[in-house]
Structure 1
Amino acid sequence: MDVSCHFATSLHSPEHIAIAEQLGYHRAWLHDTPAQSPDVWAMLALAAERTHRIGLAPGVLVPTLRHPMVNASGAATLAALAPGRVALAFGTGFNGTRALGAPPATWSYLSAYVRTVRGLLRGDTVEWDGAPMRMMHPGANAPQRPIDIPALVSALGPKGLAVTHEIADGLFSVNGETAHAHEFTWAALGIHGTVLSEDEPLDSPRVRAAAGPGNALAYHAAYEFGGDPTTLPGGQAWLDAVTAHPRTERHLAVHDQHLTDLNAADNAAWNGGSWQAITSTTVTGTPDRIRHQLSAYARDGITEIVYQPTGPDIPGELEHFIAIARDV
């Protein structure tokens, strides 16, 4: 199982990716979340200049955020800067669109979009919005087509999985979803969490910073995907804090500081005991417990684990995690 990393894109991401390369991580993925992050392609390009081996990838690109030519050109640019190191991942949109108050893309739209981007990278003339187009970049502006870049799709449910089988090279999943990993030769799983020191309490300030944002993801996802956050510890406090806002602004309350820190609702939940869920919502625990969980993911068919560190000590989190993961 390859050990990769994932970052909520920041101006420090190129530096963090360079550190990840030194530590031996296989690939670095960056979120495409324009409501809270610098441009994903710009940060990946800077990372390409600072690294030599580590794979580089946006994860995940959301079709409704950019014209397909924009992402095809971005991918081609990165492929020129980091030959043989680029991958792509696409999804219908969670934080990337819902933080804007916009709905996710439909699976039919995502399918057409991914086919179009991949066709452009092959050098095909493709049709979009009723007009033919192709990459016309001269040799100094992009690699010669075809540009071979593998692509994953983030999917849940039968419709999304069917589309993934049709158009992608593998599956990107999160939140412990491994049920369909064995259907793919490349199955990446995004995880969060932190390595506990001996007798370290789950509600410590360090664990709050390092695993709290990953834990809060369970509350954000439950709310956005029609679940019930009140079934989680502190969930009623979380929901009360969100619903105190006007309905038209609740997406701002939910997605504020998504996967970077705790927002006001997340803090209310934390004070109400949400930290009790950390060992089930994230991969947090002693080294032995984390090794056991990673081994279980490998048996489930996961071929690439994608660890996202958070908190003030990203280099330290990366170092502690890979020291454990490389033994699995």
Structure 2
Amino acid sequence: MDVSCAFPTALDSPDHIALAERLGYHRAWVYDTPQQSPDVWMTLALAADRTERINLGPGVLVPSLRHPMVNAAATATLAALAPGRVAVAFGTGFSGRRAMGYGAVRWAFMESYLRAYRGLLRGETVEWEGARMRMLHPDGHAPARPVDVPILVGALGPKGNKVASELGDGLFATLQTPEFMKDYPWVAFLEWGTVLDEGEPTDSTHARSAAGPGWALSFHGAYEFGGPDAVRALPGGVEWLEVVEKTPEEHRHLTIHSGHCVDLNEADGAAWHAGGNSTLREVTLSGTRAEVRRKIDDYASRGVTEIVFQPCGPDVERELERFLDAAAG
């Protein structure tokens, strides 16, 4: 299994990617979350300039955020800056859309978008929004077409599986492990967590800062996909809802997604201190070195070929080192 990393795109992400290369990580993915991040393509371009070996890619791009020509041109640019090191992942948008108050992209739109995007990279004339277009970049403005870059699709259900199998080179998954993962030769699975010391409790200061942001996704996801009742079923869920429901419904998504994948917001902190941290090992890739290794082996048995770890907390280097050591067994 390849061991890769991911970062919630920040101004220091290029330096963290260079660090990941020195440590031996296979690939670095960065998030397309403009409501809380600098531009994903600018960040990847800087990372390409500061690295030589590590593979790079946006994981995941949200189609509604950019015209397919814009993403095709950006992809071609990155492929020129880091030849042979680029992969691109697309998803329907979790924080990339829900944190701005929108629902997920429809799979019919995703299918049309990917067909147009792939056609542009091949140098074809495609139709989008009633107009015909083609990449017209002269020599020196982009690599010659076709630009061959593998594409992963973030899919968890049957509609997504259909699009991924027809238009993707692999699967980008997180939070759930659908059975159809075993049908793909390349499955990147995004996880959060931390390697705990022997005997370290799940409510330690280190566990909170390093694994808490990933743990909080269990609340964010439960609320978005299952509503308040799904959250109440979680330890600390009542306390989480008490904070969230102070905010008027039309602004509630701003409260929920504040600090997403970076830190615990007020509601997350309330749930953590109310005993919600007891689920840390269940909902994140957290545990002792041996426990983390066993979890990675379990993912491999389900079809995962690339484990993607996002470090959190004040000591990114320590988190990357300890996870890579655990993954190596």
TM range (shorter): over 0.9
Deviation at 1:43, TM superposition (A): 0.4
1:170-319 counterparts in 2 under 5 A? 170-227=170-227, 228-319=230-321
Question: Deviation per CA, 1:62-120, whole angstroms, max 9, x where unpaired?
Answer: 01111111111111110010000000000111100111111211000011111111111
Asked if structure 1 preserves the Cα contact closer than 8 Å seen for 2:237 and 2:276, the reply is yes
* Matched AA of 1:17: I
- Using the alignment, how far apart are the partners of 1:171 and 1:265 within structure 2? 32
Cross-structure match for 1:54: 54
Q: Which runs of 4+ in 1 moved over 3 A?
A: none
1:108-119 counterparts in 2 under 5 A? 108-119=108-119
- Using the alignment, how far apart are the partners of 1:67 and 1:14 within structure 2? 25
TM-score, normalised to structure 2's length?
Answer: 0.98
Does 1:92 pair with 2:92? yes
* Matched AA of 2:195: V
Does 1:29 pair with 2:29? yes
Identity %: 57
Question: Deviation per CA, 1:241-270, whole angstroms, max 9, x where unpaired?
Answer: 111110000000011010000011101111
* Matched AA of 1:43: T
- Using the alignment, how far apart are the partners of 2:143 and 2:90 within structure 1? 22
* Matched AA of 1:70: V
Deviation at 1:326, TM superposition (A): 2.1
* Matched AA of 1:196: L
Unaligned runs of 5+ in 2: none
Cross-structure match for 1:43: 43
1:28-177 counterparts in 2 under 5 A? 28-177=28-177
236-245 or 37-46, which deviates more: 236-245
- Using the alignment, how far apart are the partners of 1:159 and 1:282 within structure 2? 26
- Using the alignment, how far apart are the partners of 2:210 and 2:275 within structure 1? 16
- Using the alignment, how far apart are the partners of 2:136 and 2:231 within structure 1? 49
Give the secondary structure class of the aligned counterpart of 2:179.
coil
- Using the alignment, how far apart are the partners of 1:240 and 1:137 within structure 2? 54
- Using the alignment, how far apart are the partners of 1:103 and 1:44 within structure 2? 27
Asked if structure 2 preserves the Cα contact closer than 8 Å seen for 1:196 and 1:285, the reply is yes
Asked if structure 2 preserves the Cα contact closer than 8 Å seen for 1:178 and 1:301, the reply is no
Cross-structure match for 2:20: 20
- Using the alignment, how far apart are the partners of 2:233 and 2:287 within structure 1? 22
Deviation at 1:3, TM superposition (A): 0.5
- Using the alignment, how far apart are the partners of 1:187 and 1:199 within structure 2? 33
- Using the alignment, how far apart are the partners of 2:205 and 2:169 within structure 1? 40
- Using the alignment, how far apart are the partners of 2:326 and 2:203 within structure 1? 22
Coordinate RMSD, CA, aligned? 0.9
* Matched AA of 1:101: G
Asked if structure 1 preserves the Cα contact closer than 8 Å seen for 2:125 and 2:132, the reply is yes
94-103 or 169-178, which deviates more: 169-178
Asked if structure 2 preserves the Cα contact closer than 8 Å seen for 1:234 and 1:268, the reply is yes
- Using the alignment, how far apart are the partners of 1:176 and 1:25 within structure 2? 23
Asked if structure 2 preserves the Cα contact closer than 8 Å seen for 1:95 and 1:255, the reply is yes
Give the secondary structure class of the aligned counterpart of 1:6.
strand
Deviation at 1:176, TM superposition (A): 4.3
